Amino acid sequence: MHKNNADIYDPQFVKGMFDRMSKTYGLTNYIASFGFTDRWRRQCINDLPFIEPDAVGFDMMSGMGESWGEIQKRIGANGQITALDISDEMNRKGKKHLKRFKLKNIKQRKLNVLQNDIPSISADFIVSTFGIKTFNLGQQKIFAKEINRILKPGGVFALIEISEPNSIVLKWSFMFYIKMIIPLIGRLLGNLEGYQMLGKYCEEFKSLRIFHGYLREEGLNATFKNYFGGCATGVYGTKSENP
Ligand X SMILES: C[S@@+](CC[C@H](N)C(=O)[O-])C[C@H]1O[C@@H](n2cnc3c(N)ncnc32)[C@H](O)[C@@H]1O
Distances in Å between the Cα of 32 and the Cα atoms of 8, 140, 177, 239 are 23, 26, 9, 35
What's the CA gap between 165 and 174, in Å, rounded?
7
**14 makes contact with ligand X (CB under 6 A):** yes
**Shortest reach from residue 162's CB to ligand X, in Å:** 9
List, edge to edge, every strand of the sheet that includes 106-110.
106-110, 80-85, 56-60, 123-129, 151-162, 232-238, 221-227
What's the CA gap between 227 and 60, in Å, rounded?
20
Stretch that binds ligand X, among 12-20, 147-155, 167-175, 221-229 (CB under 6 A): 12-20
Stretch that binds ligand X, among 45-53, 129-137, 170-178, 219-227 (CB under 6 A): 129-137
What's the CA gap between 101 and 66, in Å, rounded?
12
**DSSP 8-state assignment for residue 166:** S
**112 makes contact with ligand X (CB under 6 A):** yes
Binding mask 38-77 for ligand X (x = CB under 6 A): ---x-------------------xxx--xx----------
**131 makes contact with ligand X (CB under 6 A):** yes
**Shortest reach from residue 108's CB to ligand X, in Å:** 11
**86 makes contact with ligand X (CB under 6 A):** yes
**18 makes contact with ligand X (CB under 6 A):** yes
**8 makes contact with ligand X (CB under 6 A):** no
Is residue 224 within 8 Å of residue 212, measured between CB atoms? yes
DSSP 138-151: HHHHHHHHHHHHHE
Among 103, 114, 170, 175, binds ligand X (CB under 6 A): 114
Q: Provide the binding-site residues for ligand X, judged by CB under 6 A.
A: 11, 14-15, 18, 41, 61-63, 66-67, 84-87, 90, 112-114, 129-131, 134
